[in-house]
Chain A
């Protein structure tokens, strides 16, 4: 899914204003301000311990911030100054736990009908609504089963059904696919994308898997050590990482240290690599940088050209000798690992690398200038 051009005109559904979280002396989240638009699908992406689940719990009310303000729709649900901290049960958010947290003593139908029972909906009516939800998610035949009688994929769908049945304003998903095995995960991913597109429900997904984030969300917020590392449309985060960390975390990248020489009027930067070679690259990631600033040049493994003959390189490429240390066959591709005068690299190539000496070709069009 790509960025939806209409998102800019939508109203904000979730607003965070200076929301921070500390446990005693330990700061888990630096003050974060952002707004999530109605109907959008946003991914909070990051390594474990980056604070992404904490942020989700602060939105849901399962944990209290150390400061700031949170609004959901028109409601202020948390404000440190005003002393507002609406408990989770009053926030009307759908939440899918990583463990799914289906109540083991209740049948699927009762699990799904439970939020309606808490809202005072009569037995017949809530069962009808739960059945309708099951129909919609193609789970009707599971209604009478207990959670332990379900597969992982079925449990995930039931958990989503339970989170949707009371028509929440937002849907929060905490690593909903991580307990599924690889093949199931791909199926569940496209199912989830389809569901969200139909419901047009504001959705926030927490994940450590960049593929999941890029494929499902139209906006990706990359977190690192409790701070926002990069925030933008999925395609932009992938194509134009701002930092070496973002480049590596979202899709993997080789990075080479370089020095900024100058930025010209057209916004192109001249950088000098460690071996003295020069490259001209788009400078938008390093605006404000002056001559002599240390920067990084990032390139995806697939964009490196692995060749047996230096003359076969794409015209205009920088060609470096490659001292190969390993070749790994991956099924459809080969991964080549080795050393170049610029440092260690990892390349992925669709054709088998030849025996004998190897070279890598690096073209400026494939490189991105990023901050260290």
Chain B
């Protein structure tokens, strides 16, 4: 009988989780086939929106640009990520830990802030370009191009590729490489004949992941592409669905459906390739601790090259942003002491809506993150501590948001609250952002908890049961204390992601529920770059120490 009620509760939870995570998609699909805005009565279903979309030259151009942009960014990210994973994981470099952390920096700086910094520094009107033109007579290649966009997107994505390859390479048993060595291969030829071929499926799979993330990326095309009128699907959706005076709901929803389909196709390809990966990456063999090779003086050279690279890609842009936040205007043509000021911070701290956006962000990240964590923990308990079918079901359901671009989550949830009873109330509270962010990052948080649950043998739970405790006692006395480190890690992930999130928020915020990301986008729109820099610095001061704590552990 207890099995029956448990079965009922588990099924109910799986269904509820499914509905929760899919909720942004349903109104979008509905709207895409509806010839009137979905809050109007009397619409009829049809393919009209799609045929209008396909006749829209801007949409077709944006689709084409998206593919170029995503392909080039992916290539840059993969090459950098693979090269640096081979270097950092296999070679003993001077300053290895510091360089590795600096290389990972774009993950926690956020593409939005990185784009602002790059544009202020390397853009056509940026400091470096002006400095070079004044002193050398020529400027930089135009950053406001698809190549420039891809460079920033590739750089900000490279750490993700790096982490992906480092994890995949750790699964290659040491013995494979050692046996290549005793058979006569040198260290380099071992890498090219053994390691890279074994990583091939991981490379394919990582490429798909990168492509997906770039399709979903709003910050770079918005900051770098829009000034040059280069539109991609993300910015098409953003401008058509949000900025435009007359929002065409049907066409925006149809574009969102196309975006979901593209990402869906990529997810399908990726899972196919991950299936293959398992066949490649040896099952059961012990990975063991891998020693790193000493390469003497060439190590210093390599460190220097990597050092210069991170200096120009992350360190200087970030430092420039900090400097910019303390100046009224930053130009090579003006001496710095004339422009130094605290005015930018004064503006931020004096305006109620700016201060509120900081508070809102903090509340959403901490309390919202905690709420997301509770849901994630419950989902993991159902998945790994109840009935066998729950594991497969919840693992499947938990990745749904991964196949939905963040912008679409925002847009879809925006539609959803229009239809929901009590939606108007919800729209005026930050709860709506908490829910949207939770949906968006659920796969990340769940993925962070899964290994901890899998590591705890089920015997430890069963031992509670034979000792006289029920399932609740097992969760309270064994699962919770034993997963506390993973829970803390998952909370930090939620906190940092919620803090940085801007794309889902851009559709959902309203006066009173601004967050730092949406405020930065607005400041950019009106050209208040000093205050924008100040707000970015405030965000960095809060998130970077946490992110460093998460990622420096390796």
Contacts and interface: CB of A to CB of B under 8 A. Distances in A.
Asked whether A and B interact, the reply is yes
B467 A162 contact: yes
Interface stretch (A91-99, A219-227, A235-243, A344-352): A91-99
Interface string A67-89: 00000000000000001010111
B462 A118 contact: no
Given A83-B1, A99-B457, A118 B482 contact: no
A163 B466 CA distance: 8
Contacts of B459: 97-99, 101
B483 to A, nearest CB: 10
Interface in B446-482: 457, 459-460, 462-470, 473, 477-478, 481-482
A172 to B, nearest CB: 8
A89 B463 contact: no
A89 B468 contact: yes
Interface in B468-502: 468-470, 473, 477-478, 481-482
Contacts of A93: 466
Interface string B1-27: 111000000000000000000000000
B463 A95 contact: yes
Contacts of A101: 457, 459-460, 462-463
Contact of B466 (A83, A89, A103, A105): A89
A89 B3 contact: no
Nearest to B459: A101
A102 B462 CA distance: 11
A119 B466 CA distance: 12
A118 B467 contact: yes
B482 A62 contact: no
A89 B462 contact: no
A60 B468 contact: no
Interface string A165-209: 010000000000000000000000000000000000000000000
Contacts of A338: none
A97 B459 CA distance: 7
A276 to B, nearest CB: 52
Contacts of A60: 466
A367 B230 CA distance: 92
A99 B469 CA distance: 19
A16 to B, nearest CB: 18
Contacts of B460: 101, 103-104
A114 interface: yes
Contacts of B477: 103, 114
A118 B467 CA distance: 8
A64 interface: yes
Contact of A88 (B457, B465, B478): B465
A95 B482 contact: no
Contact of B3 (A62, A85, A90, A92): A85
A97 B462 contact: yes
Given A62-B462, A85-B3, A97-B459, A119 B468 contact: yes
A166 B1 CA distance: 26
A94 B2 CA distance: 21
Contacts of B463: 95, 97, 101-103, 162
Contact of B465 (A89, A94, A98, A163): A89
A89 B467 contact: yes
B2 A88 contact: no
B482 A105 contact: yes
A95 B462 CA distance: 10
B456 to A, nearest CB: 9
A28 to B, nearest CB: 15
B527 to A, nearest CB: 55
A115 interface: yes
Nearest to B461: A101
Nearest to B473: A118
A368 B65 CA distance: 85
B470 A104 contact: no
Interface string B346-376: 0000000000000000000000000000000
A355 B484 CA distance: 68
Contacts of A105: 478, 481-482
What bracket does the count of chain B residues touching chain A fall in? 20 to 34
B2 A115 contact: no
B1 A62 contact: no
Contacts of A92: 468
Nearest to B480: A105
Nearest to B6: A87
A92 B465 CA distance: 10
Contacts of A102: 463
B228 to A, nearest CB: 57
Interface string B139-170: 00000000000000000000000000000000
Contact of B468 (A62, A97, A115): A115
Interface in A101-128: 101-105, 114-115, 118-119
A114 B3 contact: no
B192 to A, nearest CB: 42
Contacts of B481: 105
A97 to B, nearest CB: 5
Contacts of A104: 460, 482
A151 B470 CA distance: 30
A104 B481 CA distance: 10
A1 B422 CA distance: 75
Nearest to B460: A101
Nearest to A110: B477
A118 B2 CA distance: 19
A90 to B, nearest CB: 8
Given A99-B457, A99-B459, A118 B466 contact: no
A118 B468 contact: yes
Interface in B102-139: none
A236 to B, nearest CB: 32
Contacts of B470: 87, 89
Nearest to A168: B466
A89 B470 CA distance: 6
A166 B462 contact: no
A330 B465 CA distance: 45
A231 to B, nearest CB: 25
A38 to B, nearest CB: 20
A166 B482 contact: no
A101 B482 CA distance: 13
Contacts of A89: 464-470, 473
A95 B466 contact: yes
A116 to B, nearest CB: 9
A64 B467 contact: no
Contact of B2 (A62, A85, A97, A119): A85
A87 B477 CA distance: 18
A148 B238 CA distance: 55
Tell me which of A85, A87, A101, A102 has the highest count of chain B C-beta atoms within 10 A of its own C-beta: A101
A61 B3 CA distance: 12
Nearest to A92: B468
Given A118-B468, A162-B467, A88 B462 contact: yes
Contacts of B462: 62, 88, 95, 97, 101
Contacts of A115: 467-468
25 contacts: A62-B462, A62-B466, A83-B1, A87-B2, A87-B465, A88-B462, A89-B465, A89-B468, A91-B466, A92-B468, A97-B462, A97-B463, A98-B459, A99-B457, A99-B459, A101-B457, A101-B459, A101-B463, A103-B482, A114-B464, A114-B467, A115-B468, A118-B464, A163-B466, A166-B467
Pairs A-B, 9 closest by C-beta atoms: A101-B459, A115-B467, A101-B463, A88-B465, A95-B466, A118-B468, A118-B469, A97-B459, A105-B481
Interface of A: 60-62, 64, 83, 85, 87-95, 97-99, 101-105, 114-115, 118-119, 162-163, 166
Given A97-B463, A103-B463, 12 more contacts: A83-B1, A87-B2, A87-B470, A89-B470, A92-B468, A97-B459, A99-B459, A101-B460, A103-B477, A104-B460, A118-B473, A166-B468
